Amino acid sequence: MWRKVRKKWFESPVDDAALAEAVAEAQRRQPPPVLWLLGKTQAGKTATINALTGSSKAEIGNGFAPCTRRSQFYDFPPEAPLVRFLDTRGLGELSYDPSEDIQYCESQAHLVMAVIKAADPNQDAVFDVLREVRRRHPDWPLVVVQTGLHELYAAGSEHPQPYPFGTEAEQILPRALMGPLTQQRQRLGELRGRGRVLWVPVDFTLAEDGFEPQFYGLDELWEAIDTASGWALEACLRADPHIRDQYARAAHPYILGYSATAAGLGAIPLADMALVPALQLKLLHRLARLYRLEWTRRNSSEFFGLLGVGVLAGYGIHWAGRGLVKLIPVWGQSVGAVWSASGSAAITYALGKTACEYLARKGQGLTLDRASLRSVYKRELSSAGALPMAKPSEKESQ
């Protein structure tokens, strides 16, 4: 049984084209939520994505993929996204008619996030789009991010602490800071509809700028996103703060992203029996790169050997059982699909978390403890039922 499972699930060649096609189908069936960012050029959209995902600006720039002539998607994580950021060309540019892009973005978005520079009073191009969006979708919530606060500070000033915006403490802030923020809110005015409009002043700076914290207002931005959308994105994209290992923190959203994709594959009849293990192997390679190691066939044999024949045999038997259940007419197509999707996600999550323990110990030259790895796998498998998978809210259809 051990030899059959190892050969079928972890040593067979991966058909990348078939896997990519199946992943695309899984994401079509269960698409990640789309955050539509709009604003003028240099308003801070990329810095906002950087703060939300922890990705570097270089990674973000290289990760954008065109979806129209002037709009582009940034998926995070790239291979198995938990969220998609939809960026449009800077509004207000000469010779740029955004109407085509706006129409496309409206058809894709689950949440609209306007990014405006606090020190720039000329935001009419952005506000006009927001008014049009709310005219067509009066119940859509909006998040307006006011960026670059430090440009309004007096020389030598630091971020006001504790975060005062949205509280009574706003009243005692310097006029040079609150004046422009208030004027922007008044310039947009009341919007039609019941959807909330949430204003979040932030300041996302570089380390060399000398401001602490570097991502000022990030917690409040996450609160606004979760309030507006009802998603648990923060739990997905920001690892447990108690995790001290920086590698494990970086790995967390990747593990969740691959788990969510595995859930989508698991719901496709027959697909999970061959392609979910291939997706899991891709995850192990990705995690190894995060830990600055290489995942080799020898690593696979050692890792799954340490997990034990019992764990892998149970994995294979359970997998085959789910595949057979899904083939039962009517009942199997519904119940079996749910069973397979949840099982695919749970196993992927447990394997990813266990692989982090394996890679961390291997990278430090520590002894690889079979009992510890098995304990991690069982613990994470049992906790996977409470996975904070992000799911998009229902969009208003006109």
Mean pLDDT: which of 75-89, 142-156, 246-260, 379-393 is highest? 142-156
Statement: residue 228 has pLDDT above 50 = yes
Statement: residue 337 has pLDDT above 70 = no
The pLDDT-based confidence of 353 (bands split at 50, 70, 90) is very high
pLDDT single digits (tens) 23-37: 777 777 777 888 999
pLDDT in the model for residue 123: 94
Q: What is the 3-state secondary structure (H, E, C) of the chain?
A: CHHHHHHHHHHCCCCHHHHHHHHHHHHHHCCCCEEEEECCCCCCHHHHHHHHHCCCHHHHHHHCEECCCCCEEEEECCCCCCEEEEECCCCCCCCCCCHHHHHHHHHHCCEEEEEEECCCCCCHHHHHHHHHHHHHCCCCCEEEEEECHHHHCCCCCCCCCCCCCCCHHHHHCCHHHHHHHHHHHHHHCCCCCCCCEEEEECEECCHHHCCCCCEECHHHHHHHHHHHHCCCHHHHHCCCCCCCCHHHHHHHHHHHHHHHHHHHHHCCCCHHHHHHHHHHHHHHHHHHHHCCCCCCHHHHHHHHHHHCHHHHHHHHHHHHHHHHHHCCCCHHHHHHHHHHHHHHHHHHHHHHHHHHHHHHHHHCCCCCCHHHHHHHHHHHHHHHHHCCCCCCCCCCCC
pLDDT single digits (tens) 300-336: 888 888 887 556 655 554 455 454 444 444 334 443 4
Q: What domains, with CATH codes, occur in the chain?
A: 2-26+240-386 (no CATH), 34-230 (3.40.50.300)
The pLDDT-based confidence of 81 (bands split at 50, 70, 90) is confident
Statement: residue 388 has pLDDT above 60 = no
pLDDT in the model for residue 271: 58
Statement: residue 90 has pLDDT above 90 = no
**Mean pLDDT on 189-197:** 89
pLDDT in the model for residue 308: 76
Statement: residue 148 has pLDDT above 90 = yes
Higher-confidence residue of 208 and 98: namely: 208
